[in-house]
Amino acid sequence: MAEKKKNGSNVSAGSGSIVIGGDVNGSNLSLFNHNVEFKPLFQLIEKEVDKNDKLSSADKEDVKAELQEIQTALEESEPNETFLARRFRNIKRMAPEIVEVAFETLKNPVGGVAEVIKRVAAKMAEDASTK
pLDDT in tens, 2-55: 555 555 555 556 655 555 555 556 555 444 455 568 888 999 999 999 999 999
Global confidence as pTM: 0.60
User: Would 17 be classed as within a structural domain?
Assistant: no
- pLDDT one-digit tens code per residue, 81-92: 889 999 999 999
Lowest mean pLDDT of 70-74, 75-79, 104-108, 127-131, name the range. 127-131
Are 67 and 102 in contact by the 8 Å Cβ rule? The answer is: yes
pLDDT computed for residue 32 by the predictor: 47
How far is Cα 102 from Cα 68, in angstroms, rounded to an integer? 12
Domain count within the chain: 1
How far is Cα 30 from Cα 32, in angstroms, rounded to an integer? 6
Domain with 46, as residue range(s), is 38-129
User: Would 19 be classed as within a structural domain?
Assistant: no
User: Would 4 be classed as within a structural domain?
Assistant: no
Dihedral, CA of residue 89, residue 104, residue 98 and residue 50, to nearest 10 = 140
User: Would 101 be classed as within a structural domain?
Assistant: yes
Q: Where are the alpha helices (DSSP H) in 6-129?
A: 38-51, 57-74, 81-94, 96-107, 109-129
pLDDT computed for residue 31 by the predictor: 46
User: Would 121 be classed as within a structural domain?
Assistant: yes
User: Would 84 be classed as within a structural domain?
Assistant: yes
